[in-house]
Structure 1
Amino acid sequence: MAWRDAKASRVRLLLFMSSIILGISAVVAIQLFSENLRDNIKRQSKNLMGADYIIDTRQEPTERAQEIIDSLQPDAMEVNFVSMIAFPKNGGTKLVNVRGMEGDFPFYGTMKTEPNDASKNYQNRKGALVDATLMLQYNVLTGDSIKVGEVTFPIIGSLKSVPGSNAVSTSVAPPVIIPYSSIDDTELLQFGSRKEYQFFYKASDTLDLNTFEDKIDPMLDLANADLDTHTSTSRRLGRRYDNVGKFLNLAAFIALLLGCIGIASSVHIYIKEKLKAIAILKCLGASRKQSFLIFLIQISGIGVLGGLIGSFIGVALQGLFPYILKSFLPFEVEMLVTAQPIIIGILLGLFMSVLFALIPLLHTWYVSPLKVLRVSEEPQQPRKVRTLVYCSILLFLFLFSFWLLKDASYALVFVIGAVITFIIIAIVANFFMKLVRRFFPKTWSFTARQGLLNLYRPNNQTVVLVLAIGLGTFLISTLYFTKDILLSKTEVGPTAENANIIILDVQSHQREAMASQLNESEVPILDNIPLVTMRMHQIKDKLVNELRQDTTRQVRGWILNHEFRTTYRDELIASEVLIDGEWTEELEPNEPIVISISDNLAADANVEVGDKIVFNVQGVLMETTIGSIRQVDWGRMQLNFSIVFPKGVLEDAPQFSVFTTAAENEQVSANLQRNLVEKFPNVTIIDLRQVFNIVEDILDKVAWVINFMAFFSIITGLIVLIGSVRTSKYQRIKESVLLRTIGAKNPQILKISALEYLFLGALGSLVGILLALISGLCLALFIFQEPFSPSAIPFVVFLPGITLIVLIIGLSNIRSVLNSSPLEVLRREV
């Protein structure tokens, strides 16, 4: 019976199954990719690092750190820093990441170069390996030369990849590798230069790296150094990409939730049409169990088949993700198909179908044989049964979202939000029906009155369709608004008033010469900011060394090891707002030193106005008191500081400067950079135009990923919409035939149906978008903590677009009524 009935209703059930297929395919594709990503990170962790473990420090190793480093006997070492380089062949200049290397690194994986042997002999030949893309950009070849500081190196080969780098970091500062022994000759490492020393180790197979890290890392922390093992790095990298996976999973869950809505609305209308047939079966002697099982088997079979098809589509789709995300991955992902996500997909198809179809399916259990005679009688389900089913659905949503997001609180918020949205849309639909009934326009034309009557008379489809349309629009619009928040959060753009060139590491004796050079180049000096480096020695009444060993401390770890770059000035800048205390402009000699700190530093250091902090300023201890706390907008493309001193304190301290200027165009910028690198080879120049281009390129890729995932939700939503409206046609055909029988003409029937679906489409999509607007505002304020500037796209595109789709599908439902005689239509429907 289940098979015979399914064959007779295959078109309607196909739409029902398609909403399952898309939701399952999205989940399976993302789960498979996430699983493959975790396995690849675990399997390739040594290749990603190039060593078993690394000791690194952001300054020359202290005496104690050097003792530990030497005792472990490093197999290779490097110092890396960002600097400007020049190409003598064509006069080009570029900001690069200079890596001075010594030893046979990497021990795992390969440093890919062209020619292949360049990675083995560049140290002996005192040459350089230059990023392959950089060589193409500046039209240089192997055999040409590159100037790094005061040394000109022959280019031994082009560098295609090296362990530990990724496409994003190399696009900002491409790597250039030179011998470690030549670093001093470049004269680039001067006072205040940002640098990192790394020592690479190859461990024996018997060494337990976790135990080793637990023992050595605390000792290195006290010596201002750090230990990274390939296992801890793979865990950290895995957590980073877990966040990407959570977003993708959330998008997949939205697609799946839309599929669930499609199931519930389709089966509700489908079973409603079958109630009379079930009543006849009961009159002929069929039991409750038999009539229930006929449709349960039918729905379960469709769920399993939909899950199976969706799983296979998901397997095919997951192969696309490495290409979509390759710019963000530091390795190639080897894709393997495992059975677990496929089995989960099939089981999801079964459980989703049965669970979300259970309420309408229970109508078959409680329908009375009298339904044959009493057409308007609706089967009444016991409240306990309905409550149990609803609780099961909520439990399923919670468990599944918890499985995807791995966070109970997020899963609970998501489910509560979905339920509240569902309830609000249902209330709005019912309120709209009552409103139409209460203020029914009796003076309107016959067709307009009939269109409105369809919204609230018996067998109306208002609640079901408004729920399907509204929830679908809500989820899609929320995803769209979220995308806008994510992208606007990192939007950048140069302006005529802002600096677009930053010149770093200008030494004290170079300051006047730099200012003269900028004036000669006819570019403005927008900022000349002095920088003084220091570390925290004591916070309130506790030494930093004591805090490092205190497991109960309330101070964040980064503060205890961070080298702060501070400045001094007598005024606040545009990106700062004073939120506590008083700003001090200048101090007289021997006055107590008061400083201003940023709000995030105050929170992480657990300090407030009036607390004391002792700094180690290059060997000299300086006691200060917090005089004010500032809120700093770190998102602005300008130099911001966590710690600012007043004038009259740091003027005589060892320092260097940062200049900012603005070049009118790329040619002026290129000429300026070439002149500065020639006269001041130690300075680092950041051209913000290039940064803008790189960031915009990254944002375009992020937007592509978000839009790719939104595609699943939009397509699923459209299928749910088509399924819901198409299934509802069986309720309207008989009514339209009766209208024709009593004399209604085709244009009148067309107008009646058009008005009904116009009201339903407009109401459902408008409610969905308004709820999405509230949802987006809450996300912006409480999650992203960003101003919310909603896009007009949902109102301009989604609202009329979805309304039009509902109208077109609704009108297509009555084609058979308009094109055939009433008797012919009735016979065909029977």
Structure 2
Amino acid sequence: MAWRDAKASFKKLALFMGSIVLGIAAVVSIQSFSETLKTNIDLQSKSLMGADFLIDSRYPPNEKVQQIIDSLGGADAREINFSSMGLFPKNGGTKLIQVKGIEGGFPFYGSLETSPASAAKEYQKKGGALVDATLMLQYGIEPGDSIKIGNVTLPITGSMATSPGSGGFSSGIAPTVYVPYRIIEKTGLIQTGSRLEYQFYFISEPETDLVMLNKKLDPILDKEDADIDTHLSSSQQLGRRYENFSVFLNLVAFIALLLGCVGIASSVNIYIKEKLKDVAVLKCLGATRKQTFLIFLIQISAMGFLGGFTGSILGIGLQELFPYIFKDMLPFDIITTISPLSMVLGVILGFFMSVLFALSPLLTTWYVSPLRVLRIEESDNIKSRRANLFVSFIILLFLYLFSYWLMQNWKYALYFILGIIITFLILMGVTRLFMSAIKKFFPSSWGFAARQSLLNLFRPQNQTMTLILAIGVGTFLISTLYFTKDMLLAKLSFDSSGNTPNIILMDVQNDQRDEVAATLDNVIDNIPIVTMRVNSIKGVMVNDIKKDTNSQINPWILNHEFRVTYRDDLIDSESIADGEWIEEATFDPERPVPISIAESISRDAFIQVGDSITFNIQGVIMETKVASIRKVDWGRMQLNFSIVFPKGILESAPQFNVLTTHAPNETESAKLQSTLIQKFPNISIIDFRQVLILIQNVLDKISWVINFMAIFSIFTGIIVLIGAVRTSKFQRIKENVLLRTLGGTGKQILKITAFEYLYLGVLGSLSGIFLSLFCAQILAYFLFELAFVPSLFPFLVLFPGISLLVLAIGLMNSRSVLQSPPLQVLRREGIA
């Protein structure tokens, strides 16, 4: 019976099948493709380090550190770096540079972009040097000239445009110069007291868990004055951008699933309503409840299994086609793989989606009375409340488990489910309120077509609730996705108008500050800096803490020379997490100075608001207490500080200033640096462009992915929405045919249909957009921790677009009625 009935209802079930196929295809393709893209972007992030992980130290590795290096299979490459003055014999020019002695095939990821290109591979063999391109341009140096470092003069084999492995301030306060490792000893610069850094680079096996490796080795290396950094740290330096990207992809997959579920629920609900009379006839002929229920359950289960399989094949196919279809748009090459697990998951997901979201309307077949054959109309409320609640609980549990699997966070998963429940309840409330308002304030003076279209919205067996839920939820999900996309893209964008600093001037003395500022076209930041060390924490001296073997305070807190600033306001990258921000204070020897610390200091030193810290400020001991703890976005392209003093305390302390500006291109950067060096030879200049180029390349790739995933899911949502509204055609045919039979003209029927679907489209889409506006605000604040500025696109494009789309589908639904005689239509649709 299931097979026979399915053949007779093929067109109606095809729409149901389409919702499953599209939903599963979207989930499988997005999950597979996003994993591939994340892997590729992860590989791109390795270019910021040049390896999978590294071990670094300020001292030559001791026995314990060397044992750890050997246990990891030995370093694949090693580096020693330090700051030194470089001399260009060609013109006598001098410059503070960061010397990096390299041995091995570093970098293992990314590439040294040099001119000529062969210089990247030849400089170690030839015993030459690779010099920063801007530095060479600034001093008029070309490949073939030489550079003197200490006691050694090296030929310059090429200029270096970008250098993987440079990680911002970790590259020092000077342009980078690469030299062979074996040359370093000959320079005579490796002496007692030299500020050196030893780095050992490693390539890990694909199955290596770098997070666990870092967690295991970091405490051990910390005690030996060494450290381990994985390439994942490079991604984390982008602040929350990479994490937000992952959350967004999971959100896209979750929304794709919900869109498919909306299509399934709406199409099955309408399909089963039409079958209730058939079920009553079967029961009159002796069929049991179980038999009638199983007939349609078997149909839905089979369609769900087939739809899941088809959707999985389509999803894998889409994933394989994406790189080819968009090869001209992709900013990097993608290698895709077919995942059998994704296909199995798609089939299982399709089956459970179909059965679970069809169970609620299927329950009506269990409770329908045989007397329905004789009755003209019957209340729709024929489902058991207990059974319906049980089905609703199972559906919510399924969605919760799926969202938890995607996000790996039970709180986020719970919030999503609560959000969906609230959304449905609000849409149902809006629909009931709308229908009640129509009944109460019915416009009796309107024309026949307008009145009839309103009456259709609350007539017996109406689909108003079903369609507004489908349209509203679909619009809500699409609009939320669009708002979220806009938020993330705004976070990923760099300010190219000159407000992003890429030139940093260090060691500017107080008496030079005004003159240096006058030399710059645009001073972005002018920051005073005071150096100090921690003297005691909560009354315990640093030396005593170091001797305490049970102390959990991170050693870097105790050994670090902090560069501290003072100001009276928070900057864009900061927010108060705990305590109160103090703008200004007056020094009183009897009272501790209120300060603000970053969350990293609070976490690593186990310090909370109200705790005391004393600092040694170049011989002067100052007692302070923590007044506030700040959340700092270290990924912002601006100077952030772990410790900030209020104004009125450090103004008279020995200090220097940091000024930042923006150079629009390499030529302007070189010109500016040349001018500054001639006027102020003591100033150290950092050209931040190399780091910005590497980071911008990664962010460009992430931005493209976010755009692509959002557009793909929005398109899928619109297709599912079309299917849900299109299904309503089969409910409308009989009413329209009766109107034709009673003398209604095609023009009148067209008007009635147009008005009815326009009401549905406007109410559903507008409700969905306003709900998404509220939801996006919550996502921005709690999940992505971003400022939310709503876009007008959903109101100006999505709202009229979806309203007109629903209207167009409604008119298409009536086309067969208008173009054929009533009896022919009734016979063709199986009504007569």
Same fold (TM > 0.5)? yes
Are the equivalent residues in 2 in contact too, given 1:146–1:155 (CA < 8 A)? yes
- Cα offset for 1:41? 11
Structure 1 residues 264 and 109, CA gap change in structure 2 (3 angstroms): closer
Q: Name the structure 2 match of 1:705.
A: 705
CA distance in 2, matches of 1:626, 1:439: 66
Unaligned runs of 5+ in 1: none
Structure 1 residues 727 and 110, CA gap change in structure 2 (3 angstroms): closer
Give the SS at the match of 1:122.
Answer: helix
Look up the equivalent residue of 2:199 and give its one-letter code: Q
Q: Name the structure 2 match of 1:477.
A: 479
Superposed counterparts of 1:157-556, under 5 Å:
177-180=178-181, 197-200=198-201, 217-222=218-223, 224-228=225-229, 244-319=245-320, 335-378=336-379, 380-489=382-491, 491=493, 493=495, 500=501, 502-506=503-507, 519=518, 521=519, 523=521, 529-543=527-541
Query: What are the Cα deviations for residues 162-186 of structure 1, in whole angstroms up to 9, with x where unaligned?
Result: 886899x99x999763235667999
Look up the equivalent residue of 2:388 and give its one-letter code: R
- Cα offset for 1:215? 8.2
Structure 1 residues 548 and 752, CA gap change in structure 2 (3 angstroms): farther
Look up the equivalent residue of 1:760 and give its one-letter code: L
Q: Name the structure 2 match of 1:594.
A: 593
Look up the equivalent residue of 1:345 and give its one-letter code: G
Are the equivalent residues in 2 in contact too, given 1:87–1:147 (CA < 8 A)? yes
- Cα offset for 1:305? 1.8
CA distance in 2, matches of 1:795, 1:107: 49
CA distance in 2, matches of 1:210, 1:267: 46
CA distance in 2, matches of 1:209, 1:805: 49
Are the equivalent residues in 1 in contact too, given 2:113–2:120 (CA < 8 A)? yes
Are the equivalent residues in 1 in contact too, given 2:601–2:642 (CA < 8 A)? no
- Cα offset for 1:763? 0.5
Between the two proteins, the alignment pairs up a number of residues equal to 808
- Cα offset for 1:594? 2.8
Give the SS at the match of 2:563.
Answer: strand
Query: What are the Cα deviations for residues 556-583 of structure 1, in whole angstroms up to 9, with x where unaligned?
Result: 88755654211357x6587699973755
- Cα offset for 1:476? 1.1
- Cα offset for 1:348? 0.6
- Cα offset for 1:145? 5.2
Look up the equivalent residue of 2:461 and give its one-letter code: N
Are the equivalent residues in 2 in contact too, given 1:292–1:361 (CA < 8 A)? yes
Are the equivalent residues in 2 in contact too, given 1:421–1:471 (CA < 8 A)? yes
Are the equivalent residues in 2 in contact too, given 1:164–1:330 (CA < 8 A)? no
Give the SS at the match of 2:580.
Answer: strand
- Cα offset for 1:463? 0.2
Look up the equivalent residue of 1:596 and give its one-letter code: I
Structure 1 residues 595 and 39, CA gap change in structure 2 (3 angstroms): closer
Q: Name the structure 2 match of 1:77.
A: 78
CA distance in 1, matches of 2:149, 2:506: 13
Structure 1 residues 555 and 778, CA gap change in structure 2 (3 angstroms): farther
Look up the equivalent residue of 1:274 and give its one-letter code: K
2:822 is equivalent to residue 822 of structure 1:
yes
CA distance in 2, matches of 1:104, 1:693: 25
Q: Name the structure 2 match of 1:676.
A: 676
Are the equivalent residues in 1 in contact too, given 2:535–2:616 (CA < 8 A)? yes
Structure 1 residues 725 and 166, CA gap change in structure 2 (3 angstroms): farther
CA distance in 2, matches of 1:108, 1:687: 24
Give the SS at the match of 1:485.
Answer: helix
Give the alignment's Cα RMSD to 1 decimal: 5.5
Look up the equivalent residue of 1:28 and give its one-letter code: V
Structure 1 residues 337 and 202, CA gap change in structure 2 (3 angstroms): closer
Structure 1 residues 608 and 306, CA gap change in structure 2 (3 angstroms): closer
CA distance in 2, matches of 1:178, 1:425: 67
Structure 1 residues 244 and 828, CA gap change in structure 2 (3 angstroms): same
CA distance in 1, matches of 2:28, 2:385: 36
Structure 1 residues 750 and 84, CA gap change in structure 2 (3 angstroms): farther
Are the equivalent residues in 2 in contact too, given 1:608–1:626 (CA < 8 A)? no
CA distance in 1, matches of 2:326, 2:597: 35
- Cα offset for 1:825? 2.1
Look up the equivalent residue of 2:377 and give its one-letter code: S
Q: Name the structure 1 match of 2:788.
A: 788
Are the equivalent residues in 2 in contact too, given 1:503–1:683 (CA < 8 A)? no
- Cα offset for 1:88? 12
CA distance in 1, matches of 2:478, 2:95: 43
- Cα offset for 1:824? 2.4
- Cα offset for 1:374? 1.6
CA distance in 1, matches of 2:439, 2:136: 73
Structure 1 residues 415 and 7, CA gap change in structure 2 (3 angstroms): same
CA distance in 2, matches of 1:234, 1:796: 36
Query: What are the Cα deviations for residues 319-346 of structure 1, in whole angstroms up to 9, with x where unaligned?
Result: 478899999x999875432321111100
- Sequence identity percentage: 52
CA distance in 2, matches of 1:777, 1:211: 35
With the length of structure 1 as denominator, give the TM-score of the two structures.
Answer: 0.80
CA distance in 2, matches of 1:505, 1:423: 59
Superposed counterparts of 1:28-43, under 5 Å:
28-33=28-33
Query: What are the Cα deviations for residues 746-772 of structure 1, in whole angstroms up to 9, with x where unaligned?
Result: 211111111111111100011111111
CA distance in 2, matches of 1:743, 1:356: 40
Q: Name the structure 2 match of 1:625.
A: 624
- Cα offset for 1:427? 1.5
- Cα offset for 1:359? 1.4
Look up the equivalent residue of 2:413 and give its one-letter code: A
Give the SS at the match of 1:566.
Answer: strand
- Cα offset for 1:803? 0.5
CA distance in 2, matches of 1:692, 1:423: 47
Structure 1 residues 806 and 545, CA gap change in structure 2 (3 angstroms): farther
- Cα offset for 1:724? 2.0
Structure 1 residues 715 and 321, CA gap change in structure 2 (3 angstroms): closer
Look up the equivalent residue of 2:624 and give its one-letter code: T
CA distance in 2, matches of 1:45, 1:20: 36
Look up the equivalent residue of 2:800 and give its one-letter code: P
Are the equivalent residues in 2 in contact too, given 1:33–1:318 (CA < 8 A)? yes
- Cα offset for 1:696? 7.1
2:758 is equivalent to residue 758 of structure 1:
yes
- Cα offset for 1:279? 2.5
Give the SS at the match of 1:659.
Answer: strand
Are the equivalent residues in 1 in contact too, given 2:283–2:370 (CA < 8 A)? yes
CA distance in 1, matches of 2:167, 2:715: 34
Query: What are the Cα deviations for residues 19-65 of structure 1, in whole angstroms up to 9, with x where unaligned?
Result: 222221232234435666899999999999888974314xx43x9x7
Q: Which stretch shifts more, 454-463 or 27-36?
A: 27-36
Structure 1 residues 729 and 332, CA gap change in structure 2 (3 angstroms): closer
Structure 1 residues 118 and 8, CA gap change in structure 2 (3 angstroms): same
Look up the equivalent residue of 1:340 and give its one-letter code: L
Unaligned runs of 5+ in 2: none
Are the equivalent residues in 1 in contact too, given 2:492–2:703 (CA < 8 A)? no
Structure 1 residues 556 and 324, CA gap change in structure 2 (3 angstroms): farther
- Cα offset for 1:433? 0.9
CA distance in 2, matches of 1:137, 1:439: 79
Q: Name the structure 1 match of 2:725.
A: 725
Look up the equivalent residue of 1:539 and give its one-letter code: I
Query: What are the Cα deviations for residues 694-746 of structure 1, in whole angstroms up to 9, with x where unaligned?
Result: 87776554443223222343223222322222211222221112222222222
Are the equivalent residues in 1 in contact too, given 2:530–2:653 (CA < 8 A)? no
